[in-house]
Amino acid sequence: MKLLITGVNGFVAGSVMAHAKGKWEIHGIGRSENLANETGLIYHKLDLLDGEKLADLFNEIRPDAVIHTAAMANIDTCQKNQEMAEQANVEITLSIANLCRQLGSKLIFCSTDAVFDGTKGDYTESDVPRAVNFYAETKIKAEKIVLVASDQNVVARLALVMGLPVIGKGNSFLADTIGKLEKGISVPFPVNETRTPIDVVTLGSALVEMAGNQFGGIIHLSGCTKINRYQMALEIAKTLGYSTELIQSVDSNAMEGRAPRSNDVSMDNSLARKVLKTPMLTLSEGLKLTLHFKI
């Protein structure tokens, strides 16, 4: 069985690769040099915006499943570069969904808890998304494309992803935070953003599981601890033995140059706990897992 991973040099993709290793023939698309440099990965260097080359590659590989992690994933960058964000998050997803439909490949799309406006919290899969920033707008459009393309496709809404990069690098806030705490630099964390963080190891396992099972539709992949980002950072600093005085509480609406954020995008993970073999963890369990995980 062939698995194609987009954004293969990214943070989430590193864990996906680790879990797929030995079970799938793994193909990965990245646009830079192969940062993952992982034995067993068949690496394809490609800008996903090149629709013609992308179609050729799909027809050559004919993947059984595609885990689409590639995106412009930084909320503030999307707000400032809306045309590029639309291309990266919507147009590329449309090309991939069409190719998957033509070849009968199952598509697992990485969406986000940020699709919700944050006024309610504990969001379930049947709650209606409402964007408060442009990143969320692009993800909501992409979700619709993926769901319309085929009943077998999956829209996986990821909570805030916590962990150390498993393979390669990517945008890990934990790695950045540890780097700063190590140097005694204080780190600001919003007190007004409530999330249900998921560790990157559990997430990779869940995404690979869905590539190979019968589940189709929307699913919330989130941890079992509902917590604001400031409290979460305190927990992390305590667990790792750093001074909690270095963790600063801030209001994200007062942080300069930031796109609007939703307050409480905690997600209910009942469906994931019901349909997946991969267990959803608490914050401390997830932190332990990501700190000690070896491939």
Ligand X SMILES: NC(=O)c1ccc[n+]([C@@H]2O[C@H](COP(=O)([O-])OP(=O)(O)OC[C@H]3O[C@@H](n4cnc5c(N)ncnc54)[C@H](OP(=O)(O)O)[C@@H]3O)[C@@H](O)[C@H]2O)c1
Residues that bind ligand X (CB under 6 A): 7, 9-13, 30-32, 47-49, 69-71, 73, 88, 110, 112, 158, 160-161, 170-171
Closest distance of CB 73 from ligand X, Å: 4
Q: Which is nearer to ligand X, 84 or 104 (CB)?
A: 84
Q: Which is nearer to ligand X, 104 or 166 (CB)?
A: 166
Closest distance of CB 243 from ligand X, Å: 25
Measure Cα distances from 50 to 13, 55, 128, 272 in Å: 21, 9, 33, 34
Q: Which is nearer to ligand X, 243 or 255 (CB)?
A: 255
Closest distance of CB 84 from ligand X, Å: 9
H helix runs in 44-171, sequence order: 51-61, 75-80, 82-86, 92-103, 134-149
Beta bridge partners of 154: 108, 217
Q: Which is nearer to ligand X, 180 or 243 (CB)?
A: 180
Closest distance of CB 110 from ligand X, Å: 4
Whether the Cβ atoms of residue 202 and residue 279 lie closer than 8 Å to each other: yes
Q: Which is nearer to ligand X, 3 or 12 (CB)?
A: 12
Whether the Cβ atoms of residue 165 and residue 11 lie closer than 8 Å to each other: yes
Closest to 275 (Cα-Cα) out of 140, 111, 112, 125:
125
The DSSP element (H or E) to which 252 belongs, if any, is none
Task: Read off φ and ψ for residue 5, nearest 5 degrees.
Answer: -115, 125
Closest distance of CB 8 from ligand X, Å: 7
